[in-house]
Chain A
Amino acid sequence: MISCSEAVKQLWDYLDGVVEESQREVIEEHLGFCRRCCGELEFAEELRGFLTSHAEEDLPPDVRSRLTATLEELGRT
């Protein structure tokens, strides 16, 4: 049996799939009865989605044209 503090420390690793199988079972056992840690887990998933949603952005046209010019110049050398 693990405490909430121990469970919370491992939730992201649990979501990333990098905890050992035996530890995964211990975490899932804890999540089975602890509503608060289930909330922590749901929020960790939200945060992961939040980070991913802020990953992409359009390349500004002026930056694109300068980087393309660099590639073309390298191709000519």
Chain B
Amino acid sequence: MARLHALARRLVGGDAEDVVQECLFRAYRSFSQLESQEAGREWLTSILLNCCRDHWRARGRRLEEVELDEVDDFSLFRKIADEDPFPYSDSVHVDFLHQFGGEDVRAILASLPELYRVPLVLVHMAGYHVKEVAFMLEVPLGTMLARLHRGRKLFERELWTYAEQHSLLKEGAGR
């Protein structure tokens, strides 16, 4: 239950509890479709994803590709090296990441379009293999990898933008 809720928090933010409640109802109703106990984790996650999709649809959010050409070439590594926000640090890249707390990360994830946030969260936070995620999202592996790549680049760019906007680029600003 904690795992489902943590995943939902990263996908739908403050509406996580409602989405998990709906997921439990649907899982209970379709329990007979669960093929084996080993498949339970992925099965529940797939139901949760469907609940999230319905949640976004109900709010008029459309899961469409968006034009983000410039983000594909963004490199947070290069940006930090070029801007050098902590000139007295020997580990400026690691120090940069240490500025962010849990609330910051949740806010940054929430700012990403769902299309890119979902694969990012499922692969890098829920620990699914990219092939499992492609299967759950019912998209070809190549499509999933392209969205994941874009999601990671967007996340990198938003980390930098958020840090600038929230004055995290100062020595001693860490959380």
Q: Restricting to A1-45, which residues have a CB under 8 Å from any CB of B? A: 5, 8-9, 12-13, 16, 18, 39-40, 43-44
> How many pairs, one residue from A and one from B, have CB atoms within 8 Å of each other in the complex?
83
Q: Is the CB of A43 within 8 A of B1?
A: no
B24 within 8 A of A: yes
Chain B residue contacts of A48, Cβ below 8 A: 124
Q: Is the CB of A59 within 8 A of B1?
A: yes
Q: Is the CB of B24 within 8 A of A74?
A: yes
Q: A56-B6, A70-B21, A74-B24 are in contact. Are A9 and B125 (CB under 8 A)?
A: no
Question: What interface size band does chain B fall in?
Answer: 35 or more
Please report the C-alpha to C-alpha distance between residue A71 and residue B81 in the assembled complex, in whole angstroms.
50
Q: Is the CB of A67 within 8 A of B1?
A: yes
Please report the C-alpha to C-alpha distance between residue A56 and residue B24 in the assembled complex, in whole angstroms.
20
Minimum Cβ distance to chain A for residue B71 (Å): 12
Please report the C-alpha to C-alpha distance between residue A64 and residue B5 in the assembled complex, in whole angstroms.
9
Q: Tell me whether chain B's interface is mostly helix, strand or loop, or mixed.
A: helix
B93 within 8 A of A: yes
Please report the C-alpha to C-alpha distance between residue A13 and residue B94 in the assembled complex, in whole angstroms.
21
Minimum Cβ distance to chain A for residue B150 (Å): 11
B55 within 8 A of A: no
Chain B residue contacts of A52, Cβ below 8 A: 124-125, 127
Q: Is the CB of B124 within 8 A of A63?
A: no
How many residues of chain A are within 8 Å of chain B by beta carbon?
31
Q: Restricting to B1-31, which residues have a CB under 8 Å from any CB of A? A: 1-2, 5-6, 9-10, 17, 20-21, 24-25, 28
Please report the C-alpha to C-alpha distance between residue A70 and residue B29 in the assembled complex, in whole angstroms.
13
In this complex, what residue of B is CB-closest to A75?
B28
Q: Restricting to B83-136, which residues have a CB under 8 Å from any CB of A? A: 93-94, 97, 100, 102, 105, 120, 123-127, 130
What are 10 A-to-B residue pairs whose CB atoms are below 8 Å? A9-B149, A51-B105, A52-B124, A55-B10, A55-B125, A57-B2, A57-B102, A59-B1, A59-B2, A70-B25
Q: A43-B76, A46-B94, A59-B5 are known contacts; what are 14 more A-B pairs with Cβ within 8 Å? A: A8-B75, A9-B72, A40-B77, A43-B93, A46-B97, A51-B155, A52-B125, A54-B105, A57-B2, A58-B2, A63-B5, A67-B5, A70-B24, A71-B1
Chain B contacts to A: CB under 8 angstroms: 1-2, 5-6, 9-10, 17, 20-21, 24-25, 28, 72-73, 75-78, 81, 93-94, 97, 100, 102, 105, 120, 123-127, 130, 141, 145, 148-149, 152, 155-156
